[in-house]
Amino acid sequence: MKSVFYRLGYSIKRLRPVAATAVKANRLASADDLRGLLHVVDPYAGFDAGAYPEDLHGWGSESPAFREVILAQRPRLIVEVGSWKGASAIHMAEIVAQAGLHAEILCVDTWLGAVEFWTDTSDASRYGSLRLKHGWPQVYYQFLANVCHRGHQKRIIPFPQTSATAALWLRMSGIQAGVIYLDGSHEEEDVLADALAYWEVLAPGGVMFGDDWAWDGVRLAVSRFAREQGLAVRFVADKWVIEKPRP
């Protein structure tokens, strides 16, 4: 019977129940609460940041859109999907600190690089930045070092995971964010999947925004998502923005 449903395009797999913990994003006392749910040992503990000189090379990480969105929303939790070397996360952390907000930034990334980082081995800004060691990218350690160099270890929490698994973990943990920044894959199917998954993580009244509207995959996916949700896409500087209605 199951094979018949699968051939017809249906899934009858039992959905994993969402078991919310006692810790909610809008009641987090500090980054330590969220960090403790993910990391038994602080990921910055004992890390030698001096072995990695600061390198904040990135794209669109200092857009004025970050300040406008954060100051308008005043979130307790920001989730960034696609962090790379941490330039945008650090920029957001500095905005939060300057504004005196009690907000943490959860950075979700595999730190393995999107497909375009692997398609041209002569591209120093992408393939070269992977800094392969025995074939494995070392970007995660550069990310940690950059956060340490700027002194934001207490505010920025790394979550080295795929975007899909991280979104599932957030939902199962009952955690919602006031602001979600999508800047992972540029492939249409991936972007649409991230938008759908993290829309469930976004708190009512929150904002989901992202980069790279000029990429066909991003533009098509975000436009389709907004159309199917009956929502409008607006723009702040170089970022697309979608607001989640309140009930």
pLDDT on residue 35: 87
pLDDT on residue 60: 64
pLDDT in tens, 40-92: 999 999 999 999 999 988 676 889 999 999 999 999 999 999 999 999 999 99
Q: Which residues pair with 240 in a beta bridge?
A: 210, 235
Strands (E), the chain: 77-81, 104-109, 156-160, 177-182, 202-210, 234-236, 239-243
Measured distance CA(107)–CA(116) in Å, rounded:
21
pLDDT in tens, 97-152: 999 999 999 999 999 877 877 888 888 877 888 888 888 888 999 999 999 999 99
- Specify the amino acid at residue 86: G
- Specify the amino acid at residue 105: I
Measured distance CA(145)–CA(165) in Å, rounded:
25
Measured distance CA(200)–CA(20) in Å, rounded:
14
Higher pLDDT: 32 or 160? It is 160
Higher pLDDT: 224 or 114? It is 224
Burial class (CB in 10 A: 0-12, 13-18, 19+), 225: buried
User: Mapping DSSP to helix (H, G, I), strand (E, B) and coil, where does residue 221 land?
Assistant: helix
Instruction: Judge whether residue 193 has pLDDT over 90.
Output: yes
* Mean per-residue pLDDT, 152-166: 97
Percent of the chain with pLDDT over 70: 86
pLDDT on residue 204: 97
DSSP state letter for 151: T
pLDDT on residue 18: 41
Give me the residue spans of the domains in the chain.
20-111+140-243
CATH architecture of 20-111+140-243: 3-Layer(aba) Sandwich (3.40)
pLDDT band for 217, please (50, 70, 90 cuts).
very high
